[in-house]
Amino acid sequence: MFLHIPLMIGLIAIADPLFRFLLTDKWADSIPYFQLLCVVGLLYPIQVQNYNLFRIKGRSDLHLKLEIVKYIITAIAIALTYKQGITALLYGQITTAVISNSLNSYFVGKLIGYRLSEQVKDLLPSFLVALFMGGCIYLFGLLGINNHLIMLILQITAAVGIYYLINKIIKSNELKELMAIITDLWNELSVKLKGI
């Protein structure tokens, strides 16, 4: 989540130049839909992790019941929003994702002794830093640079720099762990390259 949250928020912030550069202006109308799908995607890794924990703990029965609840909520959201258009449908999916992930996290938390409030507390710093980063790079997008590639490079570079620096300043444990993983991978790669 330390990497996934800023990725999704970053994609929301750079969606305009990204779409216009990769897909041309013809696809500009789909940018808001992409941004809303990124909001849904924010919770995906938690959902996968929760499902894995249900299996590990031998509670496939509970997982099945929660999946049924999720499909019922999804059906209700579709029934309530389909007449209002795609945007309303996507808001319905965001609501469904939040409710179903909250339920899953609550029951997984009971199984492993890690309450939903603790999970939210642990994710909140990464989310707040990523939100600040997203706001900054969105503002960079308002500078009026007409070249979409240059704008993308500027925004992506700024995003990585801002996210890294703030996490460094607040002494984020997740950043320390990530840097340790990268160092280990680099050392392994160096040994293999020397062997070649």
Q: Identify whether 38 is part of a domain.
A: yes
Q: Residue 179: inside a domain, yes or no?
A: no
Q: Does the residue 164 lie in any domain?
A: yes
Domain hosting residue 139, numbered range = 4-170
3-class DSSP state for residue 23? coil
User: Considering its fold, how many domains does the chain have in total?
Assistant: 1
Tell me what the pLDDT averaged over the chain comes to: 90
**Residue 19 within any structural domain of the chain:** yes
Judge whether 178 lies within some domain: no
Tens digit of each residue's pLDDT (9 = 90 or more) over 57-91 = 888 888 889 889 999 999 999 999 989 988 999 99
Residue 189 domain-assigned (yes or no): no
**Percent of the chain whose predicted confidence (pLDDT) is above 90:** 48
Residues 18 and 162: their CA atoms lie apart, in Å, by 19
For the entire predicted model, the pTM comes to 0.83
Report yes or no on 126 lying in a domain: yes
Domain annotation covers residue 55: yes
Rounded CA separation 78/96 (Å): 10
- Find, among 36, 9, 1, the residue nearest to 162 by Cα: 9
